């Protein structure tokens, strides 16, 4: 078992992250429409979506990796935090986070950047999402991952993740 993963809360645009992989908060058919997925497709290129769709559909809660197109990251890990009903749950957020960590570890990656899975279209509250995702990362027995960034686009999510992280380490 490796040392504990370092968690960083980063305000900003996940498409700008230089982590080895960024996570796309995906639906299980891996279509990239709006939100994080749309931003990744716009900046990284249509080839990301084409490669993702070729690997889908996947079960909600699962994840697959694709190339990252024109992005700084090497990979995009598509985490199906919801199905076609566009609804998420604590279980799906936890499972899609865990699946993303496993995919990153299997690829031998040292760093990964997550958005707040399920808080956009899925409608999950940022603080509840933060508690679930941070708990999942802290409990993960990694072999290669050293850094997990939560790259958050709005101040409400940044505050929620900072609060959840500070409470976790109490």
- Does residue 137 carry a pLDDT above 80? yes
What pLDDT sits at residue 169?
Answer: 66
* Total domain count, the chain: 1
What CATH number is given to the structural domain containing 105?
Answer: 3.40.220.10
Indicate whether 1 belongs to any domain.
no
Indicate whether 25 belongs to any domain.
yes
The CB density around residue 39, as the number of other CB atoms within 10 Å, is: 18
Angle between helices 35-44 and 46-54 (to 10 degrees): 120
CA nearest to 133, candidates 144, 143, 122: 122
Whether the predicted model's global pTM rises above the 0.85 cut: yes
144 CB-side CA count, 13 A: 14
Indicate whether 91 belongs to any domain.
yes
What pLDDT sits at residue 86?
Answer: 67
Better-scored residue on pLDDT, 121 or 133: 133
Indicate whether 37 belongs to any domain.
yes
Indicate whether 57 belongs to any domain.
yes
- Residue 145 sits at φ, ψ, to 5 deg, of -65, 135
Q: Could you list the residue range(s) of the whole structural domain that residue 163 is in?
A: 6-168
> What pLDDT digit, counting tens, does each position of 56-114 carry?
999 999 999 999 999 999 999 999 998 777 688 999 999 999 999 999 999 999 999 99
């Amino acid at each position: 078992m490796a040392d504990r993963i370092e968690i960083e809360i980063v305000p900003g645009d996940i498409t700008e992250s230089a982590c080895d992989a960024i996570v796309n908060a995906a639906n299980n058919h891996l279509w990239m429409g709006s939100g994080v997925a749309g931003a990744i497709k716009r900046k990284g290129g249509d080839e990301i979506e084409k490669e993702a769709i070729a690997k889908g559909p996947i079960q909600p809660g699962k994840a697959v990796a694709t190339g990252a197109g024109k992005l700084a990251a090497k990979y995009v890990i598509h985490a199906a935090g919801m199905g076609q009903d566009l609804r998420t749950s604590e279980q799906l957020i936890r499972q899609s986070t865990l699946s993303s960590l496993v995919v990153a570890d299997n690829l031998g990656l040292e760093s990964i950047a997550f958005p707040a899975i399920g808080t956009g279209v899925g409608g999950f509250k940022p603080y509840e999402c933060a508690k679930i995702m941070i708990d999942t990362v802290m409990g993960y027995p990694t072999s290669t991952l050293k850094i997990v960034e939560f790259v958050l686009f709005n101040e409400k999510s940044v505050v929620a993740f900072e609060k959840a992280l500070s409470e976790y380490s109490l």
